[in-house]
Amino acid sequence: MTPPVKSVIYSRVPRPDPALVARAAKFGIADLHEGLGEIAGRMCLMSPAMVPIAPGQKVCGPAVTAWNFPGDNLAIHAALYTAEAGDVLVLTNGGGHQGALWGDVACTFAKKKGLVGTVVHGATRDVDAIRELGYPVWSTAVSVEHPKKRGPAAVNVPVVIDNVFVEPGDLIVGDSDGILVIPRDLIELAVTNAETRAAKEVEFRRRIEEGEVLFDILGMRAVIEDLGIAIKDCTWEEDR
């Protein structure tokens, strides 16, 4: 996607149904990722480069997006201004370390305003202070490099964050496993499938506690037979 050349700030975001957001918040990104299906699940999952600043972080809320010129963080301040309680800031400068996009002062204001987390495709600084604040932040880099505030900038426009397409209002879900972006029209699907999957895993755990073998619970024996893979009752040395 080509970044916008003309600066623009949209103050309104098409947010998803709060009841649906609350249902999604009950699950980790693993269940929701699987709930999206193989293709959409992979397209919506950010890479392992997007890591939590502190352990145990969780986030679930609609995206407020901010596109920043490399070395500049003007857009994040406009995003902070337009965001509402329950939102997740999603910031990018293309992923470079030039000019920290996020720090503890912005974090303090975001927490005060009721935002629930920030996802940074670029650099975060003041990491120790952010950890003390207890505000959830994910980032692809850490750098204290000074940012300008001149633009160009765009707020609440579609952006690409860590190779994932994000539109304002998409559901951002994060935990220690990473960040997942769920398009608004797929939230119901992801949540419904996650609920089904979670119930199935409860049953799996019950059967494991009762002494069953996971290999058999998951039907791996039939899968291996269908694939024509031999199970030999000997060592590889004996089979040479």
Please enumerate, by residue number, every residue annotated as part of a binding site for Mg(2+). 126
CA distances for 157 relative to 70, 106, 167, 218, angstroms? 17, 21, 7, 43
The token pair at 45 is: 């999952």
Please give the annotated binding residues, written as ranges: 103-106, 125-126
SS3 of residue 135 by DSSP: coil
Q: Are 61 and 88 in contact (CB under 8 A)?
A: yes
**DSSP code per residue over 27-89:** S-HHHHHHHT-HHHHHHTBPPTTSEESSTT--EEEEEEEEEE-TTB-HHHHHHHHH--TT-EE
Smallest CA-to-CA distance from 164 within 56, 59, 41 is with: 41
Please give the annotated binding residues for substrate, written as ranges: 103-106, 125
Q: Are 167 and 88 in contact (CB under 8 A)?
A: no
The token pair at 54 is: 């502190």
The token pair at 7 is: 């600066």
